[in-house]
Structure 1
């Protein structure tokens, strides 16, 4: 089964509906490699409520793990397997639109939409060599320093600015 069928059959987006779940990462970007998992970010203003929902529905799944820190700034992370896919759910106290995982996904998506294909091929080549997604984008785009922060800086650029950046590839 493909990852989208696994998402549907697991009902994870319905189970987590109250937490604004959004699928992010390499699968929806079309940049997955063998072993890529289904990443879902959620808004967990009350992490315990999210933990209870995940526990109630997925605790019997293979690979189930649930990590919940006491500090408000730390995300809740849950892992489980469904339909041959590994799922990873991140619950953060910030609304999804303000979370780094979502912001990274959005800038990567924008870049790929504006791309003529060169960026996608170059990032896919990096990914096939074991490079994580954000470092792969940063390497291809020539972003110095911390790749995660560097990509966040791009989020404020207009499409015209991003196109100019892509034209230098």
Structure 2
């Protein structure tokens, strides 16, 4: 299985993956933000992205030190100074998200006070990757077609797999 905790697999991937690799390595984001254990999650790593799909970068962030995290992001010069910061609740826990565009790539940085490999975004991606490996190219194309119709990733898997609650059910797989 691919080690999604490192970026190396992107070097030999499809065009979008290679461009993402170039951007992330040029910006040295993962080096600069290593303290937060960043991982690229979402659809681009598992090749089910569509036009407009963003680079989802998840980080382990203790929001008691939110200002340090934001300062580190600003200092890294990875994010624009006027970026909007939001604080969604995930499983009753306050998180942080930042969305912006960098060199034509939509970027979402998500921080949660949980190790990145335990965050739902990573766990969903791993489950989805394994399902895609098992089900093959036709299944993958059906997922992409559903996404093009505006259906989010987990619900698309839910439709094709007959899952009642895809966000929870995928975590059990």
Q: TM-score, normalising length from structure 2?
A: 0.78
Residue 98 of structure 2 corresponds to residue 78 of structure 1 = yes
* SS across alignment from 1:26: coil
Paired with 1:62 and 1:88, the residues of 2 have a C-alpha distance of 15
Paired with 1:136 and 1:116, the residues of 2 have a C-alpha distance of 15
What are structure 1's unaligned runs of at least 5 residues? Answer: 155-169
Change (3 A) 1:63 1:29: farther
Match of 2:58 among 30, 41, 55: 41
Q: CA deviation at 1:114?
A: 2.2
Deviates more, 1:53-62 or 1:88-97: 53-62
Change (3 A) 1:50 1:60: closer
Query: Residues 29 and 78 of structure 2 are in contact (CA less than 8 Å); yes or no, is this contact kept in structure 1?
Result: no
Query: Residues 51 and 76 of structure 1 are in contact (CA less than 8 Å); yes or no, is this contact kept in structure 2?
Result: no
Aligned residue number for residue 5 of structure 2: none
Query: Residues 76 and 91 of structure 1 are in contact (CA less than 8 Å); yes or no, is this contact kept in structure 2?
Result: yes
May I ask how many residue pairs the two structures share in their alignment? Answer: 153
What are structure 2's unaligned runs of at least 5 residues? Answer: 1-15
Paired with 1:63 and 1:29, the residues of 2 have a C-alpha distance of 31
Query: Residues 41 and 89 of structure 1 are in contact (CA less than 8 Å); yes or no, is this contact kept in structure 2?
Result: yes
For residues 60-112 of structure 1, what are the alpha-carbon distances to aligned partners after superposition, in whole Å with 9 as ceiling and x for unaligned?
63872223579x92111122221110111111001112211111111011112
* SS across alignment from 1:40: strand
Q: CA deviation at 1:115?
A: 2.6
Aligned residue number for residue 138 of structure 1: 158
CA RMSD after TM alignment = 2.5
Query: Residues 74 and 80 of structure 2 are in contact (CA less than 8 Å); yes or no, is this contact kept in structure 1?
Result: no
Q: TM-score, normalising length from structure 1?
A: 0.79
Paired with 1:150 and 1:22, the residues of 2 have a C-alpha distance of 22
For residues 91-150 of structure 1, what are the alpha-carbon distances to aligned partners after superposition, in whole Å with 9 as ceiling and x for unaligned?
100111221111111101111222322321211111111111111111111111x32112
The structure having more radius of gyration, on CA atoms, is: 1
Match of 2:41 among 13, 20, 24: 24
Change (3 A) 1:7 1:115: same
Aligned residue number for residue 150 of structure 1: 169
Aligned residue number for residue 107 of structure 1: 127
Q: Kindly report which structure 2 residues correspond to 1:49-60, keeping only aligned pairs within 5 A, or say none.
A: 49-58=68-77
